[in-house]
Amino acid sequence: MAAIIVISIGVLFNLFGCIGLLRLPDVYNRLQAATKCVTLGCCSILLGVFLHNGISAAGIKAIIAIPLLFFSATVAAHALVRGTYHFGVKMSDRSIKDDYKDAVK
Amino acid sequence: MRYLTFFILGLVFWLLLTFRISLPNVIVGSAASLICTLIFARYFFENTGKLINPRRWFWFLVYLAVFIWSCIKANFDVAYRVLHPRMPIKPGIVKVRTTLKSEFARMLLANSITMTPGTLTVDIIGDDFYIHWIFIRSQDPEIYTRMITGVFEKYIKNFVE
């Protein structure tokens, strides 16, 4: 029962992440939604898998995947956003500040 | 010492991942972690004696609790901004100065910032972190430095440096 609740929460957050991916204006904001919601959503799903299987081969693998997912998602987001900036993609009109411009001139 | 620690960690990781203790499995795992050690151990911590200090583990657990809590908060924050009809966003890239010195600590801080509400690390140049912020609450560098790094910096300093 607890496993089903945790997996449902994970799917819900993944859905929010996808809505954010469609609605937000530019690639930087979209990455925010994609990183945070989708990472925690997947972690909840993995936790649900662990609760469902208990301490067995599948359960332990799900638990180990959580820190790996955290590190790879954050590093991937960082690499993507930096690469995007250097490629020259403009920030949306609603942006109010850009300190990075001076640093990479 | 650093190579030995890395090798043991790799072997434990392999055994947990395959979840079967038999002689062939341990041999293959040793070979795999030996290869990884030869390639990657030079990027590992300098001082592995830190790993067995209980005080550091205590601060690490405190940090983990704070980190998970801010992760959950971050999700509700993003969900609120995404589902709100007018999308309350005010994005921009701000510059934040850090006092952390070691590379591992900076990596942890950058990852923590990425997972906290509304912030995403773009780049690290020298001592400065460049952070994309989805909703800039303040224009004053001192206030936003405290808001972004203040929470994690002191815990990371306690258990890494």
Higher pLDDT: A7 or B154? It is A7
Residue B48 has pLDDT above 70, yes or no: no
Of A37, A56, A97, the CB nearest to B93: A97
Q: Are both B136 and B57 inside the same structural domain?
A: yes
Query: Under a CB-based contact definition with an 8 Å cutoff, are residues B152 and B114 in contact?
Result: no
Q: Are both B58 and B14 inside the same structural domain?
A: no
pLDDT confidence tier of residue B109, bands split at 50, 70 and 90: confident
Q: Are both B13 and B43 inside the same structural domain?
A: yes
Which domain range does residue B41 map to?
A: 2-48
- Chosen for mutation from A100, A102, A104 (greatest number of chain B CBs closer than 10 Å) is A100
Q: Are both B119 and B57 inside the same structural domain?
A: yes
Residue B35 has pLDDT above 90, yes or no: yes
Flag residues of chain A having pLDDT under 70.
Answer: 105
Are B71 and A40 within 8 A, CB to CB? yes
pLDDT of residue B72: 86
How many domains are there within chain B? Answer: 2
SS3 category, B20: coil
pLDDT of residue B34: 92
Structure token pair of residue B99: 């006092």
pLDDT of residue A103: 72
Q: Are both B33 and B89 inside the same structural domain?
A: no
Q: Are both B19 and B80 inside the same structural domain?
A: no
Are A99 and B95 within 8 A, CB to CB? yes
pLDDT of residue B108: 84
CB contacts < 8 A (A, B): 121
**What is d(CA B155, CA B66) in angstroms, rounded to the nearest whole number?**
9
Query: Under a CB-based contact definition with an 8 Å cutoff, are residues B19 and A61 in contact?
Result: yes
> Hey, what's the torsion of the CAs at A38, A44, A47, A51, to 10 degrees?
-150
Q: Are both B24 and B101 inside the same structural domain?
A: no
Structure token pair of residue B17: 């991942």
pLDDT of residue A105: 66
pLDDT of residue A94: 72
Q: Are both B19 and B77 inside the same structural domain?
A: no
Q: Are both B134 and B101 inside the same structural domain?
A: yes
Strand stretches in chain A, DSSP E: 97-98
Which residue in chain A is spatially nearest to B80 when comparing CA positions?
A16
Q: Are both B38 and B78 inside the same structural domain?
A: no
Long-range contact pairs involving A50-57 (C-beta distance under 8 Å, separation at least 24): A51/A2, A51/A3, A51/A6, A52/A3, A56/B19, A57/B19, A57/B20
Are B93 and A26 within 8 A, CB to CB? no
Structure token pair of residue B71: 């992760």
Residue B58 has pLDDT above 70, yes or no: yes
Cα three-residue angle B135-A31-A64, rounded to 5 degrees: 115
Residue A89: DSSP 8-state? P
**Taking every pair of C-alpha atoms in chain A, what is the biggest distance, in angstroms?**
55
Q: Are both B97 and B27 inside the same structural domain?
A: no
pLDDT of residue B101: 80
Q: Complex ipTM, two decimals? A: 0.81
Find how far residue A31's CA is from the centre of its chain: 8
Segment B74-103, tens digit of pLDDT: 888 888 888 888 777 788 888 888 888 888
Of A36, A77, A96, the CB nearest to B78: A36
pLDDT confidence tier of residue B30, bands split at 50, 70 and 90: very high
Segment A89-102, tens digit of pLDDT: 777 777 777 777 77
Strand stretches in A1-104, DSSP E: 97-98
Nearest chain B Cα distance for residue A49, angstroms: 15
Q: Are both B153 and B88 inside the same structural domain?
A: yes
